[in-house]
Structure 1
Amino acid sequence: MLFVYLLLFSVIPQHPENKFDPQQVFYPDSVIEHSYNVLHYDLELEFFAPFDSLAGKCTMIAQATQSIDSIPLHFGQAMHIDSIVIDGSNCGYNQIADTVYIDMPGSYSNGDSFVSQFYYQGKPSNGLFPDNGGFYTFNQTIEAAKQWYPCFDYCWDKADSGVDYHITVPDNLTAVASGLLTSVDTLSGNRLTYHWEHNYPIVTYNIAMAAYEYVKLERTFHGYPLEYYALPAYQQSAQNMLDSSEVVLELYDTLICLYPFHEEKLAQCQTPAFGGAMEHQTAIIYGLGTFNDASTHAHEIAHSWWGDALTCINYREMFLNEGTTSYFECLGVRALRGDSGFVVRLMTMKGYALSFDDTYHLPIINTQFPFGTHVYYKGAWFHHMLKEMIGDSVYFAAMKDYFQTYKWGNASVTDLRLKMEQHAQDTLEWFFHQWLELPDHPKLTVKWGFKNDSVLINIQQVQNNGIIYTFPLEIGFWKDDSLYQVEQLWFEDSVHIIEVASLKPDSISLDPNFVLYFYLVDNFCYNNLFLVDDDQGTNYQNYYQQVLNDLGVSYTYWDINTQGLPPDSLLEMTCGVMWFTGDDPSPLSSADREKIKYFIDNQIPLALFSPGLAAQLADSSFLQDTLGCNYTGNTSNLTDFIGATGDTIGHDCIWYNLPVHNSSIVFPTSAVGSAMWGTSGYGLVHQDNYNIVFSTVSLKYFYNQSGYSTKQTLISRILNYMGIPSSVGAEEVFHPPVTVEDNNLKVSYLSGGVLSFHVEATRPTELLVFDVMGRLVRKWDVNNVVDIRWQGQDLFGRQLSPGRYFVILSGDQQKSKTVVLF
């Protein structure tokens, strides 16, 4: 059904249905007391070229539900009312806004039936759309149906016995509507009248039609007609969509029940310009942007059960239509594209819904935006989490029972909850309240490290909305890119600290099987290298982070300027510390030196890069006893920094250094010289007794020289010396792949860290970039052949951190690539 992404920024794209104005707000249902029940509509309408106007009659058969002598009916002010007749008598009326109050010819008691005939003509302000020599009607729930035909336009009063259409159009057009085609009558003036008869209950927004120069494709599936009304140029694509529709219907017919309108048909119709889709009952329409998109077909077909046959009781609970359908869309995508397609679709929904949450902070039900992104996509995750929690067999049995109980009518969220509780044999009120009535989502941080033969894990909820969520949470343990262990805990507090016996993993992840709707703020490994930034805000960290990223080293970044000194509790679990300062002549405070002494006392490996430290501490015991060297003065304008022959770290290295004064040191105690300024003294030493490396040269000033080892090699050797492996050998230099490609998506690495995407799209689609936490960080709308260059900015123009990202070309030509951003 109708769908829109309500957004403040252009970061949330529209759903393929594309049904609503992004600013449209739906308020609670009318407070007008409804005094009658609609039984049947009969529309006798003629449409006039250029198909922006119509004339005709709407007959409504209804039954009084109380004593009445007048009735309200919704009808757009832009139309002209010729007359209103009830049971053969002309009636007076008064129109206020889009409601017509009709005086009945007498008094009617509860249970009395009456027939109203509403004669009218004009140009509707909404709902009727002329388009390339034809037209379609498109009802934006309470906004549009009443603009082109009189009705009681609320979803909780369906026409119990259906609707008849008598559609008169020029004879070059084929008119399609709900139900079965019972006759086509030829009229004078080259006109035809199509009579469609639909004998199932129907909500007002699903009463619709389309008329174009169609080619009809037809086959039989599971005993009912499966039809596609295609524009002439798109017959082959329509055949393909019939094929995919059969796959989806096979699933839904099995999971729920046989297609509910199987005694009539399932038709799907193209329109030339409409960009979205709409689940008009038994006559779905698609625009050219969606008609050949199988996931959109999966969504609209699922509406036949969720929204058409069974309809939400009011618009505040539109989740019952759209959230349910969006989840069954994911299940349909799995039938079409396998488990990977299911996960991609589900995670794409999650990314969009999280963005919506962070912008609007609205619940799914009783919300001012019942057609918001969260209703569709967070609603889909509600069903996914519920299914995973109570089990597939219980969930699908409950959904079947729910459908069979309320089909042809309306249901509430409470109705759904009670059915789920009945089958799960457990109370679920907390689950429905938390995920449907409360806004936002859990935001989690995980900090972990090794403790003897166990992994110590600290997980916190850090959302600032005052809500503590309850949920089951899986923790995955990974080794060599394989998930080898999964632990589950019940999360109902703000903090959980657990100790898990496990082999030493390379990494851990939360929710490895994609069953929880949450946002991962940080995954922090205490046993990573600890990169301490003590440059007093001068951005030297870029040079160290670049090399560590090149080497594939996991590290935790800590900025003393903004965070203060790192606490001992964190440092106890690190595998080593790389501490760098800027060019300050007095770089280390007494507190800094105490912290470094703490590393040494606790035998934590340390690499210290500090140009000014030797001069600052020239006569101190710290320099001599801890770092194992003495300060001998500054070199003057030396540009070559030469590794010591045979040294573990410095051998075969020559680095170009900017011509500045550099500290020179000797090593009279226990340090070993690694690299020196010509023959005048050393600027890099290592202290084997304490596993310390000390450099008087900042990595900022190292420049590789041709034919010699690089600064990547230098840092790799230092890390190996500290007992920290990097992803390349000590003598290797990391180079990114030049190109990764297939038929539709080609990724090339250009100079300067630029990524080039060459996309060959067969239809309008999206190129999406996700980070390793599953967050959508960038998107482009693409069509046909397009080249995109990306320098690593996110949706808001902010520079992303270097690392691994996933690039996905969505749609039927779905492709996924892993890329590394430098």
Structure 2
Amino acid sequence: MKKVFSTIVILLSLYQANAQNFTRRDSLMGGLRPERNSFDVQRYDLSIKVDPDKKYISGYNNITFKVIDNTSRIQLDLFINMKIDSIVYNKTKLTYKRDNDAVFITFPKQLIKGSEEQVRFYYSGNPLVAKNAPWDGGFVFAKDDQQKPWIGVAVQGTGASLWYPVKDHQSDEPDRGASIKVAVPNGLMDVSNGRFTGSEDLKNGYTRWDWEVKNPINNYDITLNIADYAHIHDTNNGLDLDYYVLKIHEEKAKKHFEEVKLMLNCFESKFGRYPFFEDGYKLVETPYLGMEHQSAVAYGNRFKKGYLGNDLSGTGIGMKFDYIIVHESGHEWFGNSITSKDIADMWIHEGFTTYSETVYAECQYGYDEAMKYINGEGAGSMNKRPVIGIFGVNKKGSNDMYYKGALMLNTLRHVVNNDAKWWKLILDYSEHFKKQVITTEDVVAFFNKETGTNLTSIFNQYLRYPAVPVLQLKLNKGKLEYRWQTDEPNFTMPVEVTIDGKPARLLATNTWQSIKTVAKNLDAVAVVTTKFYIKVEKL
């Protein structure tokens, strides 16, 4: 059955892709084929030099991989505007063919299943510059207050191969982590993921800064941050906290970043221990708003509460905390630790992380304030396209993956209707899939098993269709009649209402059901839409 289901999904994805005129480049970026499936990346060792004046990078990536199936040809990726200087295997230069951003590499002999191999991929060039990072991928070459270079990069969705050679697919993270070594002009510092392991003056006007990641890491999370940084160190429950900010902001950061401890304490109580304890936690000030770069979270919120000083929820609650600290750090659990296999399932990152904002609000300000926050923020849901995107072509779903994804989780909390059970479910989910690459089907199966309830139709309606469930109500001869109107067949979900001020819980389906009532009109019936993200039609 699993093979049959997978075939149907693949055929449907191909049909949808063709219908939307996806290109060969999209398929090469988003698809899995023998040249990708035949090997499993074990480690990246990246060593580059960055010339800020020329906006130029050069160097190599050592890519260590395990052979999964016998092969003599693999696919790596590097954007077409970047130059391949050479690809070396066992001191021999390999032949390769470029196809858009894909690089198909041929080995002189077949690589044997089970063997571990390594190629050194030399490259250079001027990487794409982002017009509006982090919403479009690329480098940001800015200046600080002293007119010194201030450089960052953000490539989620666009592809890590924008700036370094990599197997550019979310399904394969380097099992044994990575090292990132970046040489920058003297007087500047590079801050990358993981632990700082040392620096070396190269005696040519450049200093190399070395970083080591012990954990698996998403391709798009690997990063560099270049500036004349001040370094602040702190700890929280044994976890190293390191902050890198422009020197002019050092004193401001010391005070403002105290919120990190509140956030971590809340998230660890709800989601489990910080998943990258071995690599430490960092906030790095960047010339763009933010990004969830694992163990080196990009921070550009200008030391303000809210989202650049604005409340996305419109309730006032969003002005009580720093949105970027909370949201981007939430990704350490949801997106960085638990990763979707395909970008089409990015709601697994964004829905849970957006929900983590509400979790933090509840930790700090209580349940009622949290409900105000999530419903205020959720007013931005559009419900025009499905949350889940198209598989195999690097196509994410709609931006409703953020607010609608969070509102779906809030709805599920109230479907479960038992907070002790709900928080255990969320904690167990975070721990069970820790440092794994998963799919929507994995999420649904876990929630079904742990709750002992078939929640599949609920997930399907919210994720696979644009519309939210509509609860239809009517009065008929002393009875309140109710049913769900949904795209998903056989939809079942309980809902809370009050009738003449008295609470009731209706287990509604697509079929009309009824309960006796003394209500004279539907104005006496109120649906608790703060707990359930639905629409109501009173007929």
TM-score w.r.t. structure 2 length?
Answer: 0.82
Alignment match of 1:103 (pick from 61, 86, 106): 106
In 1, the alpha carbon distance for the partners of 2:86 and 2:375 equals 54
Larger RCO: Structure 1 or Structure 2 (Cα < 8 Å, ≥ 6 residues apart)? 2
In 2, the alpha carbon distance for the partners of 1:385 and 1:462 equals 17
Matched, 1:193 2:194: no
**C-alpha deviation, 1:462, in angstroms:** 6.6
Counterparts of residues 753-792 of structure 1 (less than 5 Å): none
In 1, the alpha carbon distance for the partners of 2:521 and 2:122 equals 78
Alignment match of 1:162 (pick from 158, 177, 184): 177
Counterparts of residues 76-155 of structure 1 (less than 5 Å): 76-125=79-128, 127-132=138-143, 133-141=149-157, 143-155=158-170
In 2, the alpha carbon distance for the partners of 1:124 and 1:254 equals 41
Q: Give 2:340's aligned residue.
A: 312
* 1:263 aligned counterpart, secondary structure: helix
**C-alpha deviation, 1:240, in angstroms:** 4.3
Alignment match of 1:284 (pick from 292, 297, 312): 297
In 1, the alpha carbon distance for the partners of 2:333 and 2:67 equals 29
In 1, the alpha carbon distance for the partners of 2:354 and 2:524 equals 33
In 1, the alpha carbon distance for the partners of 2:455 and 2:536 equals 25
**C-alpha deviation, 1:436, in angstroms:** 2.5
Alignment match of 2:413 (pick from 387, 411, 418): 387
Q: String of CA shifts for 1:718-770, please: whole Å, max 9, x gaps.
A: xxxxxxxxxxxxxxxxxxxxxxxxxxxxxxxxxxxxxxxxxxxxxxxxxxxxx
In 2, the alpha carbon distance for the partners of 1:242 and 1:505 equals 50
Q: Which moves more between the two structures, 202-211 or 435-444?
A: 435-444
In 2, the alpha carbon distance for the partners of 1:99 and 1:63 equals 20
Q: Give 1:785's aligned residue.
A: none
In 1, the alpha carbon distance for the partners of 2:522 and 2:97 equals 75
**C-alpha deviation, 1:207, in angstroms:** 0.8
Alignment match of 2:186 (pick from 168, 171, 180): 171
**C-alpha deviation, 1:425, in angstroms:** 2.2
The one-letter amino acid of 1:379's match is: G
Matched, 1:434 2:461: yes
Q: Which moves more between the two structures, 299-308 or 465-474?
A: 465-474
Q: Is the Cα contact below 8 Å between 1:182 and 1:196 reproduced in 2?
A: yes
Q: Is the Cα contact below 8 Å between 2:256 and 2:303 reproduced in 1?
A: no
In 2, the alpha carbon distance for the partners of 1:59 and 1:169 equals 20
In 1, the alpha carbon distance for the partners of 2:116 and 2:429 equals 31
Matched, 1:362 2:354: no
Q: Give 1:243's aligned residue.
A: 258
Distance 1:373 1:494, change over 3 A: farther
Distance 1:500 1:206, change over 3 A: same
Distance 1:87 1:392, change over 3 A: farther
**C-alpha deviation, 1:506, in angstroms:** 8.6
Q: Give 2:45's aligned residue.
A: 42
Q: Give 1:492's aligned residue.
A: 509
Distance 1:296 1:323, change over 3 A: same
In 2, the alpha carbon distance for the partners of 1:152 and 1:258 equals 29
Which structure has more helix as a fraction of its residues?
A: 2
**C-alpha deviation, 1:319, in angstroms:** 1.6
Q: Give 1:516's aligned residue.
A: 532
Counterparts of residues 256-655 of structure 1 (less than 5 Å): 256-272=271-287, 274=288, 276-288=289-301, 292-293=305-306, 294-353=322-381, 356-357=382-383, 360-364=384-388, 366=390, 370-390=396-416, 391-444=418-471, 457=480, 469-476=491-498, 485-493=502-510, 495=512, 497-500=514-517, 508-511=525-528, 514-520=530-536
Q: String of CA shifts for 1:399-425, please: whole Å, max 9, x gaps.
A: 333333332221122222222222222
Q: String of CA shifts for 1:668-723, please: whole Å, max 9, x gaps.
A: xxxxxxxxxxxxxxxxxxxxxxxxxxxxxxxxxxxxxxxxxxxxxxxxxxxxxxxx
Distance 1:99 1:369, change over 3 A: closer
* 1:235 aligned counterpart, secondary structure: helix
Q: Give 1:29's aligned residue.
A: 30
TM-score w.r.t. structure 1 length?
Answer: 0.55
Question: How many residues are paired up?
Answer: 483
* 1:160 aligned counterpart, secondary structure: coil
Distance 1:447 1:228, change over 3 A: farther
* 1:418 aligned counterpart, secondary structure: helix
Tell me the percent identity. Answer: 23
**C-alpha deviation, 1:507, in angstroms:** 5.2
* 1:66 aligned counterpart, secondary structure: coil
Q: String of CA shifts for 1:4-27, please: whole Å, max 9, x gaps.
A: xxxxxxxxxxxxxxxxxxx99977
Distance 1:283 1:118, change over 3 A: same
**C-alpha deviation, 1:501, in angstroms:** 5.4
* 1:323 aligned counterpart, secondary structure: helix
**C-alpha deviation, 1:190, in angstroms:** 3.7
In 1, the alpha carbon distance for the partners of 2:455 and 2:482 equals 25
Q: String of CA shifts for 1:640-685, please: whole Å, max 9, x gaps.
A: xxxxxxxxxxxxxxxxxxxxxxxxxxxxxxxxxxxxxxxxxxxxxx
The one-letter amino acid of 2:155's match is: N
Counterparts of residues 730-809 of structure 1 (less than 5 Å): none
Greater Rg by CA: 1
In 1, the alpha carbon distance for the partners of 2:467 and 2:203 equals 60
Counterparts of residues 60-71 of structure 1 (less than 5 Å): 60-71=63-74
Distance 1:234 1:446, change over 3 A: farther
Distance 1:55 1:188, change over 3 A: same
Q: Is the Cα contact below 8 Å between 2:484 and 2:509 reproduced in 1?
A: no
**C-alpha deviation, 1:440, in angstroms:** 0.8
The one-letter amino acid of 2:31's match is: S
The one-letter amino acid of 2:33's match is: I
In 1, the alpha carbon distance for the partners of 2:340 and 2:295 equals 18
Q: Is the Cα contact below 8 Å between 2:461 and 2:468 reproduced in 1?
A: no
Distance 1:365 1:470, change over 3 A: farther
Q: Which moves more between the two structures, 112-121 or 386-395?
A: 386-395
**C-alpha deviation, 1:342, in angstroms:** 1.4
Could you say what the CA RMSD is over the residues aligned between the two structures, in angstroms?
3.0
Distance 1:290 1:351, change over 3 A: farther
* 1:201 aligned counterpart, secondary structure: coil
In 2, the alpha carbon distance for the partners of 1:192 and 1:410 equals 36
In 2, the alpha carbon distance for the partners of 1:495 and 1:505 equals 16
* 2:435 aligned counterpart, secondary structure: coil
**C-alpha deviation, 1:318, in angstroms:** 1.4
Alignment match of 2:195 (pick from 176, 180, 190): 180
Distance 1:52 1:341, change over 3 A: farther
**C-alpha deviation, 1:289, in angstroms:** 6.0
**C-alpha deviation, 1:468, in angstroms:** 7.7
